[in-house]
């Protein structure tokens, strides 16, 4: 007889996590940095103690898992598409991201994601450092992400949804006369002060 064990396959675990949200926001310290590293496919190879504490996992539960295991359903797919398109080109990106903790709580971060190169200049993985974002930035980005998600949900095909939402994002940037990087930068008081 086949028995269900607690060690479900990674994909099943991921989708379970995605649907379970409490609506409760949790916070981490201004002086803390949430760090993770991935291989070229986005599987977690390293997570620091702050990552584990805030997300509520043990290292053994995250290492080897796809980074989407902490994906929150409010995150627009088009933002992750932009993230991957950027880092796969060998460039860095800043992004506001809301993540799910293991218990379904959520936390906002300002992520700085960078490629890691070997000595031949080949990408061998990625690295993300995340800090506490400014509240004003989160207040500004939340309705924009909701708009992008709403566009994505209008399409049965994920791909078409991403294309349509990306168009909306690009139109927003065009209207503001800014690049994506400038847009992210303009939302954060702390980032502007650091410049």
Ligand X SMILES: Cc1cc2nc3c(=O)[nH]c(=O)nc-3n(C[C@H](O)[C@H](O)[C@H](O)COP(=O)(O)O)c2cc1C
Binding mask 124-163 for ligand X (x = CB under 6 A): --xxx-----------------------------------
> Which residue number, 104 or 178, has a Cβ lying nearer to ligand X?
104
Q: How far apart are CA 63 and CA 83, in angstroms?
A: 21
We find the least distance from the C-beta atom of residue 175 to ligand X, in angstroms, to be 26
HSE-CB of 11 using CA atoms within 13 angstroms: 0
| Residues 44-73 contacting ligand X, CB under 6 A | 67-68, 70-71
> Which residue number, 90 or 176, has a Cβ lying nearer to ligand X?
90
For ligand X (CB under 6 A), the number of binding residues is 16
Residue 86 in the binding site for ligand X (CB under 6 A): no
Would you call 118 exposed, middle or buried from its count of C-beta atoms within 10 A (0-12, 13-18, 19+)? exposed
CB 91 within 8 A of CB 83: no
CB 74 within 8 A of CB 23: no
CB atoms within 10 A of CB 113: 22
Phi, psi of 179 (to 5 degrees): -80, 170
Residue 113 in the binding site for ligand X (CB under 6 A): yes
Residue 80 in the binding site for ligand X (CB under 6 A): yes
| Residues in touch with ligand X (CB under 6 A) | 36, 38, 42, 67-68, 70-71, 75, 80, 84, 97, 99, 113, 126-128
């Amino acid at each position: 007889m086949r028995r269900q064990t607690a060690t479900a396959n990674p994909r099943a675990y991921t989708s379970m996590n995605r649907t379970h949200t409490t609506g409760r926001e949790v916070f981490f310290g201004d002086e803390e940095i949430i760090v993770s590293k991935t291989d070229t496919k986005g599987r977690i190879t390293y997570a620091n103690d702050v990552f584990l504490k805030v997300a509520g996992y043990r290292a053994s539960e995250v290492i080897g898992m796809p980074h989407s295991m902490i994906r929150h359903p409010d995150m627009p797919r088009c933002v992750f598409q932009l993230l991957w398109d950027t880092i796969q080109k060998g460039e860095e990106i800043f992004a506001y991201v809301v993540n799910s903790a293991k218990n379904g709580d959520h936390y906002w971060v300002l992520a700085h994601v960078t490629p890691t190169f070997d000595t031949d200049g080949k990408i061998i993985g990625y690295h993300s450092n995340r800090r506490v974002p400014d509240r004003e930035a989160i207040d500004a980005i939340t309705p924009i992400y909701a708009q992008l998600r709403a566009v994505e949900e209008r399409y049965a095909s994920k791909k078409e949804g991403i294309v349509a939402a990306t168009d909306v994002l690009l139109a927003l940037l065009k209207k503001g006369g800014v690049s994506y990087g400038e847009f992210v930068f303009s939302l954060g008081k702390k980032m502007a002060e650091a410049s």
